[in-house]
Each structure stands twice: as structure tokens, then as C-alpha cells.
Amino acid sequence: MRAALYARFSTDLQRAASIEDQFRNCRKRAALEGWTVVATFADAAMSGSDANRPQYRSMLAAAGRHEFDILIVDDLSRLTRDAVECERAIRRMEFIGLRIVATSDGYDSTSKARKVHRGFKGLMNEIFLDDLRERVHRGLTGQAQKHYWCGGRPYGYRLKPVLDASQLDVYSQPARIGTVLEIEESQAAIVREIFTRFADGASCLVISRELNERGIPSPGSTWKRKARRCKGWMGSAVRVILRNPLYGGRVRWNVSQFVRDPDSGSYKRRRRPKAEWVEHQDESLRIIPNELFEKAQARTRAAVNSDKRLKSGGKAKYLLSGLLVCNVCKAHYVIADARSYACSGHWNGRACSNNIRVRRDAIERTILGGLRRDLLMPERVHRIAKEMQAAFAERVKQASARAETMPQELEALDARLERLRERLKAGDPDLTADELQTAIDRVEAKRRELIDARPAARESARVLTMLPKAAEFYRDQIDRGLGGDLCAAAKARTILREMLGEIMLSPGKDGSLWAEYAMQPAALLQGAGTCGRGSPRPREPVANKAAG
């Protein structure tokens, strides 16, 4: 039997050797059982509540490809500490026929008590996380009340450990009892420059461009990110610095919390009630004089727009908004002035080298004109319908040939169902009740598939009538969107996203701008209630040097 091992430890404060310790226990069990270890997966310094761990996802993908027969973990908490994710993952692996074994807590997916075992363990793991979260927050609150720093390293400061010689750690060294901030002068000079330039009237975008032109490392340049959008300063980073009260000597903690969305798995920031904040004034951390700080805050407040619509995110107005992507930095093209799109990575701080703009009317005329000409014209629609009719005719032929053998197949499936139900009723020494029920479900699904198989002649005729109607509807939505109808523009944008996907814009050597996108007749056919295939990605110029 082929076995795979999975191990995990939670934080940087734990020993990396923990992975090897877990693998040693797992290999010992594999050797006792005579299993062959064919793969190992390990996530270091990653929480068990995170279902997007790279090696965890790789292990599930390998399981789906049947690359191993048994998964061995040290205990179920190494797999995940989320009860819902634990049940989902184990059920998925059991469904495809894998066995899960935990060496320390005795879990075995072949045991009749497996559901009770993992349900109890999942509940314990959830309670452990809740208790751990509460203990950590309580400890950090105590540290904040002692005026120790409890966060990461903010730009302009360095972290300094506070040691107590009267307390020794396990290595007989003075124990660290807290952390404080110290001003990092080279970065503090940049912070002072940012505040001064902003107070003198420079915008966040202008400041970020100036910093990028001088090659000043951005605050995120030292972050341990696995994926980075682009290099350099962004206007948003300058804005965050301007609004941070720490540069005026005001230390705050517990202002907000991050709550995980159960659907997407991403974390959302929520502001805590002000009564729960822990804050104090520390003049030793002040980088910006009070007068300059207040002047910058006054300008920030004056620039805030009171329009509530802007506080919930911008609303796309034009047909191609959100579809145009810079092929250099992968940032979106956005409206940069009254008539032109520009790469947001370049426009918002010059972090991208693509400085070519394109007029909105020009790119709409090029892209949408080609769409109307190449995909939505009645002649093309009729040709697609004829091609689909031929495909459906082939399906009818295949269905007719299969209909001759259908009675024998149904008879065999009915006999197999009867045998499986008898085994479920009487009990089976080889298969559990759940495994027998799964087999019954599969046979019943196969039987329904055979019964529901019908010739598709009526569907073929429906396509011929529905495709022109779908094309006419799409043309009308695009025309109304171009005419300024915001409701129609929103619908047309959805249609274009299905038909074109992302439109990649690449600068040419001569200052031109080229668009690359995929025509998808499938979207048109979906409008008629069926399916189709995409066309090759055309590449055409949408701007030249003079227009850009």
C-alpha cells in the first residue's frame, strides 16, 4: 500500500524539528504496517485554521489524483483545527477510497467509531483555538497596558526587546519580557519628508512617484509575502502613513480585529468599540512635530468626500471598466482622467513602467467594434447554429446506437442494485454500511443517466431560434451601455466578461498599445441555453504613440 505523510507546526516560535518528529512517528507506523511511503507534505509555521496552506492543498490535490492509498498524520489537529474543514476533507478522501490514520490519537477511517472520534476531536480542536485566541489576547492586553509594543514593525521604527536579568530563559540568558519601539532614523527622515510634502500641497500620488523615482524602499519591501502585487511605493501606502497617529507619539492597540469570512476564507477588518482601545502618549516615539502633524490631518479631513457611495467602493461606469489589465504588472487599467484609461500601477505611484494611456472611446470602438463584427453579426450567429446543429446530429446518432443496448444495461444495473441492497440489509463482512450506501448511490445515478438520455433533436431546433435572439439582446445591451445607460452598461459588462474575459494590454516598442483577448462564442451559446467553444485570442492595436 502506498502511504503519504502530512505534518504541520503552527508558529515561528515552535521548533522546525517538530516536522521531523511528526514524520518519525508516521514512518514508524508505516514500517509496522508494511506500507511504502511515496510522498511527504509539510507546512511550517502555519495555523491549522487556515485551509489554504500550500502543502495541505497539494496533498488534497495528490489525493484526488490517487497518488497514494493511505494518509498518515501524527494526530488530526495536524491536518486542520477547523471542525468543518476537517469533516469536509476527510469525507472527500474517504469518498475517493483513501484511508486516514492518525498515529498519536488512534484515529483510523476504517473504524466504525470514526465519525464519533473525529467529531469529538474536531470539537476539542475548535475549543483549543478559541481558548488560545482568548489567552493570547488577554496576554497582549496586559503587555499593552504596561506600554509594551504588541504589533508588527511600523515604518520609521525598529523593534527592541526588553530583557530582565533577574529572569532567565531555558538557555540561562536574560528573559525577554516585552518589546518596545525605537525610531529608525533613515526611515524617519522619509516619514518627515512625506508629511512636509503633503502639508505643502503635494498629493499622495505625487509623493509616491517621487519616492519611486529616487529608489526609496517601500514599507512592504521587507515583508515576508509569498505573492506581491508590484514593487515600489503606492499612493495608498503614503495615505496610511499620513493617517497613523503613532508618528505624532500616540500609541494605540486593540483598535480593530480581523474576522474570517466563512465563505471565502479571507479576513475582514472590523473596528472595535473605542472603550476597548488601549492607548497612551509617548513623546519618545514622536517623529512629526505636533503642528505639522495637525496640518497634515486637517488637509486629510478636507480631502475626504462625504458621498456615501464612495465609502462602499467605486461603482464601474463604463463598459470595459474592470476588464482591462496591464500585461506588464498585471494591475488593472483605470480611468485616469476625463477621457483616458491608464495602468493603475504606473498612475498610482509609477510602480509600473507602462506609461501608455488609451482614450476610452478609442478602445471601446476597437474592442466592441470587433465584437459586433466578428461574433454578434447575424451571419456568424447562423454559422454557429449550423455547426451546433451538426454536433447535435452526431449526438443523436450516438444516442440512437446506445439505445439498442440500453435495456440490457438497465437490467444489469437493476440486478446489481438488488444485490447491494440485500448486502446492506443483511450486513457485509468486507464493506461498511456507508461504503455500501455509496455504491448504491453510484449505481442509481448511472441508472438515472441512462433513463434520462434522450435524442437531442428538439434541442438542436431550439438553438437555431434562440441564438439570434441572444445575439440581438447582447447587441442592444452594448449599444445602450455606450449611450450612457448605467443599468444597461452593468448588464453589458457582465456579458463582455463572459465573452472576452480579461483584456490584456501590452505596450509596443513604438509606443503603441496592443490588446489581447479571447472571443468566447460559448457565452453566446449559454444565452441560448447550451454550450460552445472559444476562438483564438486576437491581438490588435488600440492606441499609438500620438493617441497614448
Please indicate, yes or no, whether residues 338 and 473 belong to a single structural domain of this protein: yes
C-alpha cell belonging to residue 404: 439498442
The pLDDT, as a whole number, for residue 548 is 36
- The answer to whether residue 414 is domain-embedded is no
Nearest to 98 by CA among 63, 55, 59, 74: 63
pLDDT confidence band for 509 (50 / 70 / 90): confident
Q: What is the average per-residue pLDDT within 391-411?
A: 66
Please indicate, yes or no, whether residues 299 and 331 belong to a single structural domain of this protein: no
Question: Could you tell me the residue range of the domain that residue 357 belongs to?
Answer: 324-379+464-543
Beta bridge partners of 43: 8
The pLDDT, as a whole number, for residue 528 is 39
Please indicate, yes or no, whether residues 61 and 210 belong to a single structural domain of this protein: no
Please indicate, yes or no, whether residues 346 and 265 belong to a single structural domain of this protein: no
Please indicate, yes or no, whether residues 270 and 358 belong to a single structural domain of this protein: no
The pLDDT, as a whole number, for residue 218 is 87
- Evaluate the CA torsion angle 273, 277, 283, 285 in order and state its sign: negative
Nearest to 32 by CA among 65, 3, 66: 3
Please indicate, yes or no, whether residues 12 and 51 belong to a single structural domain of this protein: yes
- The answer to whether residue 404 is domain-embedded is no
What share of residues in the chain are helix, strand, coil (percent, to 5)? 50, 15, 35
Is the separation of the CB atoms in 392 and 456 below 8 Å?
Answer: yes
Q: Assign residue 258 the CATH number of its domain.
A: 3.90.1750.20
Helix intervals (H) in 202-280: 204-213, 235-242
Please indicate, yes or no, whether residues 78 and 197 belong to a single structural domain of this protein: no
C-alpha cell belonging to residue 307: 458621498
Bridge pairing between strands 324-326 and 503-507: parallel
Nearest to 547 by CA among 516, 503, 514, 499: 514
Please indicate, yes or no, whether residues 364 and 286 belong to a single structural domain of this protein: no
The pLDDT, as a whole number, for residue 225 is 59
Stated pTM of the model = 0.49
- The answer to whether residue 29 is domain-embedded is yes
Nearest to 257 by CA among 241, 244, 268: 268
- The answer to whether residue 457 is domain-embedded is no
Least confident of 189-193, 291-295, 429-433, 539-543: 539-543
Count of domains in the chain?
A: 3
Nearest to 143 by CA among 151, 154, 155: 151
d(C-alpha 375, C-alpha 535), whole Å = 10
pLDDT confidence band for 157 (50 / 70 / 90): very high
Nearest to 296 by CA among 446, 191, 224, 156: 191
Please indicate, yes or no, whether residues 333 and 360 belong to a single structural domain of this protein: yes
Name the residue type at position 14.
Q
SS3 543: strand
- The answer to whether residue 458 is domain-embedded is no
Please indicate, yes or no, whether residues 281 and 359 belong to a single structural domain of this protein: no
What is the chain's mean pLDDT, rounded?
78
Q: What is the average per-residue pLDDT within 353-357?
A: 89
Please provide the DSSP assignment of 108-133 as one string.
Answer: BTTSTTHHHHHHHHHHHHHHHHHHHH
- The answer to whether residue 225 is domain-embedded is yes
- The answer to whether residue 402 is domain-embedded is no
Name the residue type at position 526.
Q
Please indicate, yes or no, whether residues 288 and 342 belong to a single structural domain of this protein: no
Name the residue type at position 245.
P
C-alpha distances in Å from residue 502, one per residue of 12, 254, 327, 373, 434:
39, 40, 10, 19, 45
The pLDDT, as a whole number, for residue 534 is 41
d(C-alpha 481, C-alpha 160), whole Å = 58
Q: Assign residue 65 the CATH number of its domain.
A: 3.40.50.1390
Least confident of 25-29, 371-375, 435-439: 371-375
- Report the 10 Å Cβ neighbour count for 103: 20
pLDDT digits (tens, 9 = 90+) for 442-485: 888 777 776 655 444 444 455 445 555 555 666 666 667 666 66
- The answer to whether residue 428 is domain-embedded is no
The pLDDT, as a whole number, for residue 423 is 80
Please indicate, yes or no, whether residues 100 and 29 belong to a single structural domain of this protein: yes
Q: Judge whether residue 180 has pLDDT over 90.
A: yes
Q: What is the DSSP letter of 448?
A: H
Q: What is the average per-residue pLDDT within 265-293?
A: 89
Q: Judge whether residue 97 has pLDDT over 80.
A: yes
* Burial of residue 278 (number of CB atoms within 10 Å: 0-12, 13-18, 19+): middle
Query: Looking at 93, 108, 133, which one is the last position of a domain?
Result: 133
Q: Judge whether residue 12 has pLDDT over 50.
A: no
Is the separation of the CB atoms in 453 and 402 below 8 Å?
Answer: yes
Q: Judge whether residue 345 has pLDDT over 70.
A: yes
Name the residue type at position 71.
L
Count of positions (residues) in the chain:
548
Query: Looking at 133, 157, 173, which one is the last position of a domain?
Result: 133
